[in-house]
Amino acid sequence: MSRTSTTSSEASLRKAEDPEHASEKESGHLLASEVAVDGGLHGWLTVAGCWCIQFVTVGHLNSFGIYEDFYKEHYLDDSSSSAIAWIGGSQSALLFGMGIIVGPLFDKGRFHLLLIVSSILYILCNFMLSITTEHHFYQVFLSQGLGIGLAMGIMYVPSLGILSHYFAARRALATGIALTGSSIGGIVYPIMVNNLINRGGNHFGGGGTPATFRSGIKLNAALNSGLLVLANLLMKPKKPTQPSKGTTINAKEFLKEPDYILMILGTAMSVLGSFFPIIYVQLFSVTKGISADRSFYILSILHGASIFGRIFPSLLADHVGSLNTLIPVTFGLGATILGYLGVRDWAHDVITSSFAGFFFGGFNTLVVAATANLARHPGEVGARIGIAFSLATPCSLVGGPINGALLTGDFLWSRPIIFSGVCTIVGAGLFGCVRVVQIIGRRRSLWKSPAQSTTSGEYQ
């Protein structure tokens, strides 16, 4: 029995030293016990519904540069650029910040209520935007910044959290596929919105009028409405959606867990730096002497590359763990941002932006899966994702203005590039600390419970 016990203890230590065993593998087994089928017809239909949500939320938000340009040149030309930027900034902040409220509601089984209410609000405000009046900033801010932003925030976290009802072992892959919706939206919306609101212009990307803006927004709203209706039909929570009897969720306890705190800090630091390419890559291209026609497409190229970043790292994560994959992907994103220091022409810009898009897509997918894997029970998933994203929201709100202040009117690109790259790499380091804390914690728990190892050995 002693020999068997020793063998069991050594095996347990090897599991503890296994980078993902301490958290994700056990979480996967726990969720698998609650979810009978890893996927299934309803599971993959839910992935399709989540894809639609990602398309109309993050995908649509990624096209705000088109709106800002049109507002400044035509529709709200009496407002400053910084004032107009608050419309997009409010959308971004609400998209992630509402998670702290809707996450717990999702865990209580309110998924359909949240999705229906947010879809109605989104559709209403999208059409309200199409009847706003030029030079009336408050109308645009209320409908697009607050209304659509609030709707995005209500539906975003539940649409991701519901995937844990159907997927355990393949959760990272399912999340990656669903999040390609935001990447494809990031390709489609800039081109579509630019052409719709600038119809009749004398050149691509310019010449629109208030009339073409209103008609273009109506067509855009019709597309978004159809996708949201489809999402409501496809997505279905799998019961039980609440913790089993005897299991209670205390969100305050999450903040006492060192690995969860480090995950939040890592997410915040990464978000602070990682959005630099999304916000500034087009302006960066123009100031480097690249033609306007080519510069306009660089953002679509970046989002096109992010599709592959959402899929291939997710496939790897299902074998080696989401957190283990997130660490090098985040580091790669930071290193690629620093790579913009060496961009001198169109070819360099395309290559660097493609890598940035790949790693950016991987980061946004894996950080969701890695945070979800910290849950002790399926009923905690929504709350954990919501709290983590909400606490990281201020960084998404201030990252762009900080980079703008560092850039100055003289376009000193080295300063925001170094700032963003270093912040993202620091985020990767904090994710690495999460792994270290988990390994140390697991090893300590095994050494403190030798009796459990002995008992386990007797039955092997």
CB 411 within 8 A of CB 287: yes
Segment of 75-84, 403-412, 432-441 carrying the highest mean pLDDT: 432-441
Residue 30 has pLDDT above 60, yes or no: no
Closest CA to 124 of 97, 143, 106: 143
pLDDT digits (tens, 9 = 90+) for 210-250: 888 899 999 999 999 999 999 999 998 875 545 544 455 66
Average pLDDT, the chain: 81
**2-16, 66-80, 305-319, 355-369, range with the lowest pLDDT:** 2-16
Check residue 29 and give its pLDDT.
40
Residue ranges covered by each domain of the chain: 25-447
Minimum mean pLDDT among 91-105, 107-121, 418-432: which range? 91-105
Contact 336, 278 (CB under 8 A): no
Angle at which helix 414-447 crosses helix 322-339, to 10 degrees, equals: 160
pLDDT score for 201: 52
Q: How many helices (H) does the chain have, and how many strands (E)?
A: 21, 0
Q: How far is CA 388 from CA 98, 166, 202, 264, 391, in A?
A: 11, 22, 46, 5, 5
CATH architecture assignment, domain 25-447: Up-down Bundle (1.20)
104-119 mean pLDDT: 90
Q: Which residues of 282-302 are buried (b: 16+ CB within 10 A; e: fewer)?
A: bebbbebebeeeebbbbbbbb
Question: Residue 325 to residues 161, 313, 434: CA-CA distances in angstroms?
Answer: 20, 7, 13
pLDDT tens digits, one per residue of 358-393: 999 899 889 988 998 888 777 777 778 888 888 888
Is 278 or 234 the better-scoring residue by pLDDT? 234
For 40-86, what is each residue's pLDDT tens digit? 888 899 999 999 999 999 899 877 777 877 787 788 888 776 677 77
Can you give the pTM of this predicted structure? Answer: 0.75
What gap in Å lies between CA 59 and CA 425, rounded to an integer? 25
Residue scoring higher pLDDT (58 or 205): 58
- The answer to whether the CB of 214 falls within 8 A of the CB of 143 is no
pLDDT at 54: 93
Out of 221-235, 308-322, 395-409, 445-459, least confident range: 445-459
Greater pLDDT, 389 or 22: 389
Q: What is the mean pLDDT of residues 239-262?
A: 69
